[in-house]
């Protein structure tokens, strides 16, 4: 895998995770606003800046992912995509202040171990 392909893959994973965190933050705000005004959560979401930004970032990540798949074998790209899971767990805990159990962290570390195993197998 070339360095530009790796950078594109990492950009796709990072932007996807960032988009998800933005969407969660925006939907939390939209749900609270809809509760207090007895309005539609869909209408609140459509006008919440974090939701709109999250959708835009997620769309950019989808385009980057498609470009990645044109250059990188799926059996390499998809395991690296698992890093997004770890990033989302980390960000949900630190940025969104969601509760995260030791089981979640342990499982996340297993995902990373699996990723390292898959990538090490690609080198041989």
Residue pLDDT, tens place only, 26-73? 999 999 988 888 778 888 999 999 999 999 999 999 999 999 999 999
Taking a C-beta distance cutoff of 8 angstroms, is the pair 16, 58 a contact?
A: yes
**What is the span of the domain harbouring residue 106?**
3-123
**Could you tell me which residues come within 8 angstroms of residue 54 by beta carbon, excluding any fewer than 6 positions away?**
19, 20, 21, 22, 23, 24, 25, 26
Residue 123 has pLDDT above 70, yes or no: no
What is the pLDDT at residue 111? 86
**pTM of the prediction?**
0.86
- Number of structural domains in the chain: 1
What is the rounded distance in angstroms from the CA atom of residue 77 to the CA atom of residue 12? Answer: 10
């Amino acid at each position: 895998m070339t360095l530009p392909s790796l950078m594109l893959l990492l950009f796709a994973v990072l932007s996807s995770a960032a988009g998800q965190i933005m969407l969660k933050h925006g939907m939390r705000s939209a749900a609270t606003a809809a509760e207090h005004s007895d309005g539609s959560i869909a209408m609140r979401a459509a006008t919440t800046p974090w939701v709109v930004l999250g959708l835009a970032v997620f769309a950019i990540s989808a385009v980057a992912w498609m470009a990645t798949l044109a250059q990188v074998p799926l059996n390499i790209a998809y395991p690296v995509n698992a890093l997004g899971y770890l990033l989302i767990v980390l960000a949900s805990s630190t940025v969104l202040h969601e509760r995260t159990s030791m089981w979640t962290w342990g499982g996340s570390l297993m995902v990373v171990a699996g990723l390292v195993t898959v990538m090490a197998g690609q080198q041989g």
